[in-house]
Amino acid sequence: MLQCLKLIKLNRKSLVPIEITIEPVVEADLPLIKSLLTELMEAIAGTEGFDVEKSIENFRTLIKDPAQYILVARQRDSLLGFVNFTIRKTMMHPGPSGLIDELVVSKNSRGAGIGKQLIQAVIDKCRESGCYEVEVSTEKSNTKARRFYKTYGFEEDAVLLELGLIEPNDE
């Protein structure tokens, strides 16, 4: 468990020190994860038809998978954000790779360094696991996320091609 002391702006004039903990998600975090996922989908263009309930079903599967990691940024009973990532092996890399699937910080906590702490926790876990690299993909239209990742040393290095097999409403 990582403990960090951060200054969060409550308004433009005051800063209040708070303790933020980065730790593994627990099942009881589900309602707050659901809320953060909804915020994420609202922020990304082209996510019409997003099925929150399917995401919750996926969450329950992911927390049981030892290759999956979901870390949350917590302030007391509040969930400020989370990151979901996988550590996996490929044939082309000399060691395992970390792959960030989702990272979201609540609207009210953005700009306070929460995302940076979550990224650092991923990097630390991947280093500890002997990873060769950490990868992340985001939508081309999500320029804020692309700038965010570049700020922390990520480079646009590859092209991700997708082939949709199921329409969201066809399931």
Question: Does a structural domain hold residue 163?
Answer: no
Question: Does a structural domain hold residue 11?
Answer: no
Range of the domain at 64: 22-154
- Condensed to tens digits (0 to 9), the pLDDT of residues 66-84 reads 999 999 999 988 899 999 9
Question: Does a structural domain hold residue 44?
Answer: yes
DSSP characters for 61-123?
HHTT-TTEEEEEEEETTEEEEEEEEEEE--SSSSS-EEEEEEEEE-GGGTTTTHHHHHHHHHH
- What secondary structure letter does DSSP report for 43? H
Q: How many structural domains is the chain composed of? A: 1
159 vs 104, higher pLDDT = 104
Beta bridge partners of 74: 21, 79
pTM, 2 dp: 0.81
Classify residue 131 by burial, with Cβ atoms within 10 Å: 0-12, 13-18, 19+: buried
- Nearest Cα residue to 20 out of 65, 59, 63, 78: 78
Question: Does a structural domain hold residue 80?
Answer: yes
**Which of 45-49, 83-87, 143-147 ranks highest by mean pLDDT?**
83-87
Question: Does a structural domain hold residue 7?
Answer: no
Q: How confident is the model at residue 40 (pLDDT cuts 50, 70, 90)?
A: confident
Looking up residue 122, the CATH number of its domain turns out to be: 3.40.630.30
Provide the sign of the torsion angle of the four alpha carbons 134, 135, 138, 143, taken in this order.
Answer: positive
Tokens of 36: 């953060």
Question: Does a structural domain hold residue 166?
Answer: no
Question: Does a structural domain hold residue 164?
Answer: no
The whole-angstrom distance between residue 39's C-alpha and the CA centroid of its chain comes to 12
Tokens of 151: 């700020």
Question: Does a structural domain hold residue 132?
Answer: yes
Q: CA–CA distance from 39 to each of 42, 71, 96, 124, 148 (Å)? A: 5, 17, 31, 26, 17
Q: What average pLDDT score do residues 138-149 get? A: 87
- Nearest Cα residue to 74 out of 126, 130, 33: 33
